[in-house]
């Protein structure tokens, strides 16, 4: 009700005005929020959503927090992102595409982007430049990792914002969560996995479902890339398989990969 002060365990809640935006992406991270049907009303009671194309026709630029999904690939996207940044008191990079470039950044492997556009679009060219993460264009206040994001993690973060509590992101790798879930190591099942070097926080989502980690959350702190490559080579995985995993989402691009270790 209007004028009612909402509380959580007796603590008054700050209910910020929030907007969701998408750039070059599949919009799967936004859909993750909407898929959470059990807690959806409780989640939206924590925030006042004023702009969210997936669920509402109304639009308002009177927002304090902007959740931004997707990578940046056009000049128009750069201009739009800068407008959002000027309005938002807090800008959150939402998902792997926003944080690292995501799967979209795979096209950056090609030196000739015109060739890529011809192969994809043929005689119907579109504007599409080198893929960039959000923080390559504007300052980012917070990152929520994953492809897609994990809705439970988003809920926790929003609750912390509403309560004014500080946020901590796990520094340890996915392997810690995997062991806590008593999973069989995917290497023992013949599956390549980046769990030993990937940032935790997903509760070992993929390994728990018997799929090797692809590193969508980016590197954990103090990763030992040389040892990771030695382990994967020791299990018989090819250089192509290793590099496909490391390059898939773009999170490991800043990490130096010893060339001699993958040969």
Task: Show me where the domains of the chain are located.
Answer: 7-163, 174-261
8 SS3 class? strand
Of 133 and 161, the structure prediction assigns the larger pLDDT to: 133
Average pLDDT over every residue of 119-144: 92
Give me the percent of the chain exceeding a pLDDT of 70: 94
User: Domain 7-163: which topology?
Assistant: Rossmann fold (3.40.50)
Helix (H) or strand (E) holding 242: helix 239-247
Average pLDDT over every residue of 177-193: 95
Torsion sign (Cα): 179, 184, 186, 188: positive
In 3D space, the residue among 164, 200, 152, 206 whose CA is nearest the CA of residue 183 turns out to be 206
Chain segment 53-77, per-residue pLDDT in tens: 998 998 999 999 999 999 999 999 9
Number of other residues whose CB lies within 10 A of the CB of residue 162: 19
Average pLDDT over every residue of 168-184: 93
Of 258 and 174, the structure prediction assigns the larger pLDDT to: 174
Average pLDDT over every residue of 247-251: 95
Average per-residue pLDDT for the chain = 91
Torsion sign (Cα): 154, 159, 161, 164: negative
Q: Answer yes or no: are the C-beta atoms of 246 and 193 closer than 8 Å.
A: no
């Amino acid at each position: 009700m209007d004028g009612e002060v909402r509380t959580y365990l007796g603590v008054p809640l700050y209910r910020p005005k929030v907007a969701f935006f998408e750039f070059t992406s599949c919009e799967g991270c936004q859909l993750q929020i909407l898929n959470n049907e059990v807690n959806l009303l409780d989640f939206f009671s924590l925030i006042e959503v004023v702009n969210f194309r997936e669920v509402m026709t109304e639009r308002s630029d009177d927002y304090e927090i902007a959740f931004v999904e997707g990578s940046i690939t056009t000049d128009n996207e750069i201009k739009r992102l800068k407008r959002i940044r000027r309005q938002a008191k807090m800008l959150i990079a939402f998902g792997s595409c926003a944080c690292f470039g995501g799967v979209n950044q795979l096209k950056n492997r090609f030196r000739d982007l015109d060739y890529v556009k011809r192969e994809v679009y043929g005689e119907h060219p579109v504007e599409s430049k080198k893929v960039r993460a959000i923080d390559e264009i504007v300052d980012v206040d917070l990152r929520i990792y994953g492809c897609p994001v994990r809705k439970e993690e988003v809920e926790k973060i929003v609750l912390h914002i509403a309560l004014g509590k500080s946020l901590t992101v796990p520094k340890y790798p996915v392997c810690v969560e995997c062991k806590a879930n008593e999973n069989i190591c995917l290497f023992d099942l013949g599956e390549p996995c980046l769990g030993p070097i990937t940032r935790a926080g997903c509760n070992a989502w993929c390994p728990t479902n018997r799929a090797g980690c692809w590193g969508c959350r980016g590197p954990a702190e103090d990763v030992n890339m040389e040892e990771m490559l030695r382990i994967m080579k020791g299990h018989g995985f090819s250089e192509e398989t290793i590099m496909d995993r490391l390059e898939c989402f773009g999170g490991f691009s800043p990490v130096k990969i010893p060339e001699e270790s993958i040969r």
